[in-house]
Amino acid sequence: MVISGGFGVGKTTAVGSISEIEPLTTEAAITEVAAGVDDLTHTPRKTTTTVAMDFGCLTIDPTLKLYLFGTPGQERFGFMWDDIVEGAVGGLVIVDTRRLDDCYAAVDYFEHKGIPFAVAANAFDGHVEHTLEEIRWALDVTEGVPVVVFDARERGSVRDALLVVLELALARTSA
């Protein structure tokens, strides 16, 4: 399962919240140069960023274990995505509704690759800026793409969002 989205939307947090192992992260300090490129307006306390991927895992039941791969959010690291999504059953595109345009690349990527995915609006400060229908319209995703609200810090919330993607992927395999 691939967890993607723009810079600072909660991908690393989501993997860390749900993984049953200590997640592998490739966090690096945000340099002055990167701070000039990456928009820190909505994440002023962010001091690190993913430069390769995050990795965790989750056992759904004795016969099913999900391996979780979090992508870097900046377009300059997009060259890695093809390797990260190889063999993926689905994707979760995390969005920050204060800056929806940051996730267009992830949405376009999953649509282009034909990988089943859902959109998860991360509830920063306990709320989202737009309704689910407004998010769907802004991202121009079809009714077949689930759009949910979740909190990347809460294990149960991340679990529920991942189950939406898993159900979507399983439905495709049985069709």
User: Given this model, what pLDDT does residue 14 score?
Assistant: 96
Q: How confident is the model at residue 35 (pLDDT cuts 50, 70, 90)?
A: very low
Token pair, residue 12, equals: 């690393």
User: Given this model, what pLDDT does residue 50 score?
Assistant: 52
Enumerate residues 6+ apart whose C-beta is below 8 A from 107.
93, 117, 119, 139, 141
Segment 97-121 mean pLDDT: 92
Residue 82 CB-density burial (10 A; 0-12 exposed, 13-18 middle, 19+ buried): exposed
- The reported pTM is 0.84
Enumerate residues 6+ apart whose C-beta is below 8 A from 163.
none
Whole-number average pLDDT of the chain: 84
Which is higher by pLDDT, 51 or 106?
Answer: 106
Residues 120, 95 contacting (CB under 8 angstroms): yes
Q: How confident is the model at residue 67 (pLDDT cuts 50, 70, 90)?
A: very high
Q: Round to whole Å and give the CA distance between 96 and 84.
A: 22
User: Given this model, what pLDDT does residue 81 score?
Assistant: 72
- For residue 4, is pLDDT > 50? yes
Collapsed DSSP state (helix, strand, coil) of residue 134: helix
Q: How confident is the model at residue 13 (pLDDT cuts 50, 70, 90)?
A: very high
